[in-house]
Each structure stands twice: as structure tokens, then as C-alpha cells.
Amino acid sequence: GPLWERPLLEVRLGELHSWISTCSFSPQGLLGAVQRAWNSYCARYIHVKQGGPAGISMLLAGYCLLSYGWNYQHFKRHRWQKYH
Amino acid sequence: MLSRLVLRAAPAALRALPPPVAVGVLHTTRPLHTTQQSLAPVPPLPEKGGEVRHGLIPEEFFQFLYPKTGVTGPYMLGTGLLLYLLSKEIYVVNHETAAAACILGVIIYGIKKFGADVAAFADKLNEEKLASARAMKSESIETLQKAIEEEKKEQWRAEGRSYLFDAKRNNIAMLLEANYRERLLMVYNEVKKRLDYQVAMQNLKRQKEQDHMIQWVEKSVIQSITPQQQKESIAKCILDLKALSKSAHAAV
């Protein structure tokens, strides 16, 4: 279909620029995008008859990565070597 | 999820119509399953979720890298990334690393050992819920079908009402006939009684006349016999007797 209706995974790398220009960055648009992303994630990994550990483990892994990123400045101080 | 979306969208859609049409749509002429998006039946959940390798990385990533790097591409990418992070100490190894390793080990051991059992238990719970819902549905369907059969039987029974009316008509005709004959008999008996009375009256009258006449004749005869005639008749009888006795003696 047309460019602005396709989900992100079906957009080719060359068209990524034009795709970003078509999406709305208003609060409503962003909220809608977040909600759509969350709904698609839930529909794919959580609301299934036979889910596995994958659904929650991906969320937990994302949480771990995010918290590591937020506390990176604190971890930088506990490095083992000074020069890499 | 989709059902909840549709349920949230429905009131907005109904409010969009002009009020009388919305009211009509709600109350009397509610369209059932005419539009594309209907409230029921809700589409069933998919059987399995998206494929995930090692519990963390979705399969699409491996498929995405396969044309360019083959099967080992993502693994090489992962190893290279890990070594880069460690060597540049973008990921710092500290006490939390040890803790995370232990926790992950325990979690993976637990999942590998008890995963199947927990999954089977959850499936059993789901099955029970579904089975109870299905049982309710089939029960209500059965009751409705039984009601349909009963209704059909009642309709068949109602067809026989002509026989019922014929029987009733026959009954009434018989009652009328019986009544008529009863009254006929009564009339006959009454008339016979009256006629018998008349006959008895006539017989009685004749008998009384006869008796009276006999009596009168006897009385007049007895009266006409004077005493002298009586003596003469007695003397004649004695003479006759004597003559008879003589003839009798002579015969012997």
C-alpha cells in the first residue's frame, strides 16, 4: 500500500527518510504511535493461546537495557581500566 | 484486544449518526452483522505467538540478516557486539553482573524444568473455562431445539382439531338422539296410560251394568214366585221323585 499506511517493518531502508516525514509528531500522533506499537506487540506475543517465556522476557530485557542506559554515568565511574 | 478496540469505537460510531436514526438503530431496527466490523463473534486468539530464538531475539531479525550473512551472521554480530562492549568497557563488569548471571541461571533452569508442566496446567485451566462456556452454549442450543420440537408437535396436535370437533359433534348428536327417544318413550307411556284408563273404564261400566241387570232379573224372578206357586212346584217335585224312585226300583 501507500507509504504512510505501511508498518515500520515493511518500510525499506531507502524510504525510511520519507516515511519519517509522513508521520505526525504531535502529542496525539506520538501517543497513537506508542499505543499502536504496544497493541501490535501484545497481539503478537502475549494474547496468544500458547505463549512462552518470550513475551515477558523481551520486556524484561528491554527494561534491563533501559535502566543500564539511564545509569550509565554511574557505571562509568566503576571501570576496571582507565585506558581502552 | 481487537474486541476491546471495537467496543470502544462502537459508541462513537453510534453518536455520529443523527439522533433519531441512532435511537432507531439502538432499539427497534438494530442491524445485526450487517457492517464489516461487528461486535460478535470475536475472532479467536492465534495459536502460537511470534517465533523467538533463545527466548529473547525475534525470528524476524535472523530472517532479516539471512540473505546477506547466512545462518551464522546474527551470532557473529552478537559475539562481536559483546566483545566490543566488554573491551571498551561500555558494559562494566561489577557485582551486578555476577548477580544477574546467577539469577538468569536459576530462571533458565526453572523454565527448562517446569515450563512444560506450568504450560499444561494453564492449558487445562483454559480448557475448563472454554468447556464450561461451550457446555452452556450447547445446553442452551439443546433446550431451544427441544422447544422447537415441542412447538412442532403442538402444531401437529393442533391439526387434529377437526377430529376433536367431529367427536364433539357426534357426542352432541348422540345426546340429542337419546333425549329425543327418551321423550318419545315418555309420550308413548303417557298415551298408553290414558288409553288403558279409558278401556278399564269401559270394562268396569259394562261389568257393572251386567251385574246390575243379573241382580235385577234374579230379584224380579224371585219376587214373581208367589208362595202358592212354591207349594205347587214342591208337590210336583215330590211326585216326580216318587215316580223316579219307582222306575229305579223296577230297573234294579
**What are the residue boundaries of the structural domains of chain A, listed by start?**
15-78
* Residue B23 pLDDT class (50, 70, 90 cuts): very low
B225 vs A68, more confident: A68
Domain spans in chain B, listed from the N-terminal domain onward? 54-92
Min Cα distance B27 → chain A (Å) is 33
A83 vs B28, more confident: A83
How far, in Å, CA of A79 to CA of B88, rounded? 10
In the DSSP assignment, the letter for residue B57 is E
The set of cell numbers assigned to A77 is 565511574
Q: In this predicted structure, what is the pLDDT of residue B128?
A: 96
Note whether A16 contacts B: Cβ–Cβ < 8 A: no
How far from B92 is each of A74, A80, B79, B103, CA to CA, in Å?
Answer: 10, 8, 17, 18
Closest CB to A61 among B56, B115, B119: B56
B242 vs A24, more confident: B242
Residue B20 has pLDDT above 60, yes or no: no
How far, in Å, CA of B227 to CA of B240, rounded? 20
* Nearest in space to B73 (alpha carbons), one of B85, B82, B64: B64
* Nearest in space to A49 (alpha carbons), one of B125, B239, B194, B160: B125
The set of cell numbers assigned to A64 is 534491563
Min Cα distance B18 → chain A (Å) is 27
Helix (H) or strand (E) holding B146: helix B95-159
Least confident of A15-24, A73-82, B136-145: A15-24
Q: In this predicted structure, what is the pLDDT of residue B25?
A: 46
Least confident of A15-19, A48-52, B188-192, B213-217: A15-19
**B92 and A50 in contact by Cβ < 8 A?**
no
pTM of the model: 0.56
- pLDDT digits over B154-186, tens only? 999 888 888 999 999 999 999 999 999 999 999
Mean pLDDT rounded to a whole number for chain B: 87
Cis before A27 (ω within 30) = no
Q: In this predicted structure, what is the pLDDT of residue A72?
A: 94
Note whether A82 contacts B: Cβ–Cβ < 8 A: no
How far, in Å, CA of B40 to CA of B109, rounded? 42
Q: In this predicted structure, what is the pLDDT of residue B229?
A: 82
- pLDDT digits over B53-91, tens only? 888 898 888 988 899 899 999 999 999 999 999 999 999
Residue A7 has pLDDT above 80, yes or no: no
**Longest CA span, chain A:** 53
Q: In this predicted structure, what is the pLDDT of residue B36?
A: 66
Per-residue DSSP letters for chain A? Answer: --GGGS-GGGS-GGGHHHHHHHS--SHHHHHHHHHHHHHHHHHHHTSSTB--THHHHHHHHHHHHHHHHHTHHHHHTT-S-S--
Best of B65, B89, B123 to disrupt the A interface by mutation (most A CBs within 10 Å)? B89
Residue type, B48: K
Q: In this predicted structure, what is the pLDDT of residue B4?
A: 63
**A80 and B47 in contact by Cβ < 8 A?**
no
Residue A51 has pLDDT above 70, yes or no: yes
For residue B52, list its beta bridge partners: B58
Residue A33 has pLDDT above 90, yes or no: no
**CA B1 to chain CA centroid, nearest Å:** 43
Q: In this predicted structure, what is the pLDDT of residue B24?
A: 45
Least confident of A38-42, B215-219, B223-227: B223-227
Min Cα distance A22 → chain B (Å) is 24
Intra-chain end-to-end CA distance of chain A, in Å: 49
Q: In this predicted structure, what is the pLDDT of residue B22?
A: 46
How far, in Å, CA of B13 to CA of B32, rounded? 15
Q: Give chain A positions within 8 Å (CB) of B94.
A: 75, 78
- pLDDT digits over B83-118, tens only? 999 999 999 999 999 999 999 999 999 999 999 999
